[in-house]
Structure 1
Amino acid sequence: MAKYRQVHTTFWQDPKVLEEMTPEDKYFYLYLLTNPNTTQIGVYQITKKQMAFDLGYSTESINSLLHRFITLHKLIKYNEQTRELAILNWGKYNLHKAGKPVIDCVNKELKEVKDKTLLLDIMKHIPNDSVLQAFSRHVDDTHNDTSARSGQEKEEEKEIEKEIEKKKKKENPTAFRFYEENFGLLSSHLIQEINAWLNDFKGNHEVIIEALKISVERNKRNWGYAKAILKDWYGKGVKSLSDIKSLEIEFKKTSISTNKRVVRREVVPEWLNNNKTEEKAAPNYDASFEEEKIKLQAELKALDEELKGKGV
């Protein structure tokens, strides 16, 4: 019998898809909704290796995508022990109609679910009463079985959950998570490069994140730009955020000092202004004085000749 999975056209107008998801997120989400392992109830068994093989990604990338969809988007849950994945809003689009064939199929698949707690969040989005009742019966049965378990089994389960959380934190360090949330999916090569820089900076994720933040602020969302910043810092002996702040303060001081020197060179000395004033005054010398002098000399000469003629 052929299997079909519905993807509503409003998928592309969903605010979470439009505003919060990267292109890799959308691709991964469509895969989770339509891959061959999907079931009628929205809970199915699939390994990380299978997902990596189908999508052509590394296992590390699948780990990162699962972590983002569980913690950031809150759209799925994944049981590491049973390898079961639950799509939490599955019922909203796939369980709104229910005839006898659908109910029979739902009951059959519910029996095969190993971790029945995965059904609880799916139930919140099931609009059909018949399907919801089928889910409730299986959850109630599981609750009764769980109540009968010994205290030792519960403690063992808590320990397993703690180990899973530790593993997630180890696999998704802060620098990697910041990159994925602001730049996109991490490739295996990029993971190796970031790890190498973390070794150079003694495991200080804050330094790597600061370089990535500067890249985002300057609208240079690429690893090459961030790496150039890290090279500059490493060459200057940066080891922490405080070292980066010190470099910024020193740079500002240097910039202010340079600007002051430029201003001094543009100031004209006072004595130069005085000389220019004198030079400008020279062309404005009053020529009438010379004319008066020549006229007076001529009159004196004429008077002198007149006196000589009179025998004075």
Structure 2
Amino acid sequence: MAKYRQVHVEFWQDGFVLDLTPEEKYFYLYLMTNSKTSQCGIYELPKRIMETETGYNRETVDKLIHRFEEYGKISYHEPTREIMILNWTKFNWINSPKVTSLIKKELENVKYQGFVQLFITKCKEYGYGIDTVGIDLGEEREIEIEREVEEEREEEVKNIPFSEIIDYLNSSAGKKYKSSTNKTKTCIKARWNEGFRLDDFKKVIDTKTTEWKTDSKMSQYLRPETLFGNKFEGYLNQQTKPKTDDPYDQLF
């Protein structure tokens, strides 16, 4: 069945929206109309998906999320990758048994119970009636969610291709790093948890190997802690450019 999200024509005359930048308006519309949205206004939306669908890089996505949290429009829960549009209930409530039944089912699948509690609080605040008897809001459900999140994280770690990444680095850069080293695995895992995947690692390795391998000063930095550190996304999006007089300008 087709799924639609409606935006009221007065959206463009809203005082808050009028003060937004074009970039913010686009992102705000995206949060209200993307394919992951739900009837309750709480849904899972990994940042990697936001990047792919909006065309923004991770830095811009993080900046916009933080900005809209400061505006009091959304809340983002990093561990479960769930977002809540805080005023969704106020402007999108439909008082029908079919819709309230759908909302209850959605709430039962929300992992972060803090969002469920907040949703119910807002329903009471706006005078909306919703039966919460069938929704588990207790400690048992909280423990279950935490266990599910932890299991997901453990499963993700099992699927990280540590060996393939390091083998590719060694082959490209002529190194002999081990994929079993804790420091190396920590760097790779950190980037993997941010949503980067094997092709991204290979691209960074290719980019920096081409740039640094024949440079006697920079070749020493073709190592996991440098390539897969905090500047990883910058390296990934780096444009090929002529070598400068200062070989360290891309390192720090």
TM-score, normalised to structure 2, is 0.52
Structure 1 position 89 matched with structure 2 position 84: no
**AA in 2 matched with 1:5:** R
State the SS of the aligned residue for 1:61: helix
Q: Which residue of 1 aligns with 2:137?
A: 142
Q: How does 1:68-147 map to 2 (within 5 A)?
A: 68-70=67-69, 72-95=70-93, 97-123=94-120, 125-126=122-123, 127=126, 129-131=128-130, 133-134=131-132, 138=135, 141-145=136-140
CA contact (8 A) 1:90 1:122 kept: no
Q: Which residue of 1 aligns with 2:167?
A: none
Structure 1 position 35 matched with structure 2 position 30: no
- Rounded Cα–Cα distance in structure 2 between residues aligned with 1:10 and 1:117: 31
CA contact (8 A) 1:87 1:122 kept: no
**AA in 1 matched with 2:54:** L
CA contact (8 A) 1:44 1:86 kept: yes
State the SS of the aligned residue for 1:142: coil
Q: Deviations over 1:163-205 (max 9, x none)?
A: xxxxxxxxxxxxxxxxxxxxxxxxx79x99xxxxxx99xx9xx
Q: Which residue of 2 aligns with 1:64?
A: 63
Change beyond 3 A, Cα 1:146–1:109: closer
Change beyond 3 A, Cα 1:114–1:54: same
Q: Deviations over 1:56-76 (max 9, x none)?
A: 110111011111111x21111
Change beyond 3 A, Cα 1:42–1:52: same
**AA in 2 matched with 1:47:** P
Instruction: Give the superposed CA RMSD.
Output: 3.4
State the SS of the aligned residue for 2:129: helix
Percent identity over paired residues: 40
Q: How does 1:137-216 map to 2 (within 5 A)?
A: 138=135, 141-145=136-140
**AA in 2 matched with 1:30:** L
| 1:6 Cα offset (Å) | 2.3
Q: Deviations over 1:12-65 (max 9, x none)?
A: 22222222x211111000000000000111000011010010011101110111
Is there any run of 5+ residues in structure 1 with no aligned partner, and where? 154-187, 193-198, 204-312
- Rounded Cα–Cα distance in structure 2 between residues aligned with 1:14 and 1:143: 38
Q: Deviations over 1:78-120 (max 9, x none)?
A: 111101010000001211x222211221111111000021134
Change beyond 3 A, Cα 1:65–1:111: same
Change beyond 3 A, Cα 1:16–1:122: farther
Change beyond 3 A, Cα 1:119–1:12: farther
State the SS of the aligned residue for 1:86: strand
TM-score, normalised to structure 1, is 0.43
By percentage of residues, which structure has more helix? 1
| 1:8 Cα offset (Å) | 1.9
- Rounded Cα–Cα distance in structure 1 between residues aligned with 2:10 and 2:111: 32
| 1:137 Cα offset (Å) | 6.3
Is there any run of 5+ residues in structure 2 with no aligned partner, and where? 148-233, 239-247
Q: Which residue of 1 aligns with 2:2?
A: 2
State the SS of the aligned residue for 1:78: strand
Change beyond 3 A, Cα 1:64–1:110: same
CA contact (8 A) 2:117 2:137 kept: no
